Amino acid sequence: MIIPIASDHAGFKAKSVTKKILEKLGHTPVDFGAHDSESVDYPDFAVEVSERVNSGEHEIGILLCGSGQGVCMTANKYPKVRAALVYNQEVAKMTKLHNNANIICLPGRALEDKEDELEAIISNWIDTEFEGGRHNRRIEKIETLTKNSSDE
């Protein structure tokens, strides 16, 4: 699967590790920056992945910044994006199982030196199937709320 990925400067190191993990798992990461650790603004990079997932060009995406929060806030401005801040493998699993998250947002500073944890997070998220059922109804409500608020 082709997976768009982006980070700011604070997530750059963890993004480099994440790309290697994706390749190891048989996926193709497409890197939308940042391309070094020079200070940049996370929204400029989060929109690149978010727009592609929102449009349906890609099924899922991965974003990183220092805390994961900034890219998550940016991504969730898009009506068809369900971005989740993920910091361990159980949260990764649940965001897919119950929320069908299509973008995970990772805290680069907390995970940059934890390759095994990053791999567990990414593989749990990618390998978990959405449970559907009652969770479908909830996702539909999110989409309705988002649509209604964008009509104002």
Q: Which of 9, 27, 58, 65 is catalytic?
A: 65
Per-position DSSP letters for 62-101, written without gaps between them: EEEESSSHHHHHHHTTSTT--EEE--SHHHHHHHHHTT--
Q: Quote the CA–CA distance of 55 and 93 in Å, as a whole number.
A: 24
- CA triple 115-120-126, angle to 5 deg: 125
Counts of helices then strands in the chain (DSSP H, E):
7, 5
Contact call for residues 75 and 63 (beta carbons, < 8 A): yes
What single DSSP character describes residue 10?
G
Q: Is 98 labeled as catalytic in the residue annotation?
A: yes
The residues annotated as belonging to the active site are 65, 98
